Amino acid sequence: MSKKHPFTGNVIGIDIGGTGIKGGIVEISSGEMLGSRFRIDTPSPSSPLAVAKVVKEIVDELMKRPEAPSKDSPIGITFPAIISHGVALSAANIDKSWIDADVDAIITKELGREVQVMNDADAAGLAEARYGAGKGVNGTVLVITLGTGIGSAFIHDGKLVPNAELGHLEIDGFDAESRASASARERDGLDWDEYAQRLQRYFSHVEFLFSPELFIIGGGISKRSEDYLPKLNLRTKIITAQLKNNAGIVGGALQAAVHFKLTK
């Protein structure tokens, strides 16, 4: 960050998903999103170049806004796959050509500015632990995002243990997300009772494995929680993400601010 463009307190977060790519400007001390978020459908095929171009389009649009951060401020990017040192190690709901691709390098090159890349569900978990439903909760908090796939963030005493892939637990012979993600509900035309049965199977298994203090549900479907949460029977308290579907954008921006030492 140069002296010419000091830190304004605002950071852009971009959440790359299997269905949509969303961005927003986040005020880092409160975790609030300033203004509306901007979304473009994920291109098909979702190849690295095509996705990087959409990310650039979103950043360009956000940079026109009055709340925009300075031109050389870093950007937080979330990605729907395992991310280790900026490299994608899986690609369940995005083009397979991302596997082993350096997401950090590809997007840095396209944007011409520094980025910090992390798994999308980890970003949502980080945001909930810092600003939302997991704030101040000790012990294990599992943030489970129900969307195109199932993402998970493992938080212990407020700290993230990255890349827990609990959407890919094998349950009853199936990859869990292929049965219990929000897109599986739509694909199979399930009503809420039927979908709740799948969620019950999933969450009771995860509960048995980890005995968490709290489950937080994120993803677009967290808006419809009254349709399925009351139907679940678990030992563990289960609530929806306070930042709703913006948790990824907020967590991505926060992680960039922490990584580049703009905040603690």
Q: Which residues bind ligand BGC (CB under 6 A)?
A: 80-82, 90, 92-93, 119-121, 145, 147, 149, 151, 165, 167-168, 177
Cβ-contact 2, 41 below 8 angstroms: no
Q: Which residue is nearest to ligand BGC (CB)?
A: 149
* Closest to ligand BGC by CB, 99 or 258: 99
Cβ 99 to ligand BGC shortest distance, Å: 11
CA–CA separation, 175 and 236 (whole Å): 23
Tokens of 37: 């978020």
* Closest to ligand BGC by CB, 31 or 251: 251
Cβ 145 to ligand BGC shortest distance, Å: 6
* Closest to ligand BGC by CB, 65 or 168: 168
Cβ 83 to ligand BGC shortest distance, Å: 8
SS (H, E, C) 122-190: HHHHHHHHHHCCCCCCCCEEEEEEECCCEEEEEEECCEEECCCCHHHCEECCEECHHHHCHHHHHHCCC
Cβ 153 to ligand BGC shortest distance, Å: 9
CA–CA separation, 47 and 57 (whole Å): 16
* Closest to ligand BGC by CB, 108 or 163: 163
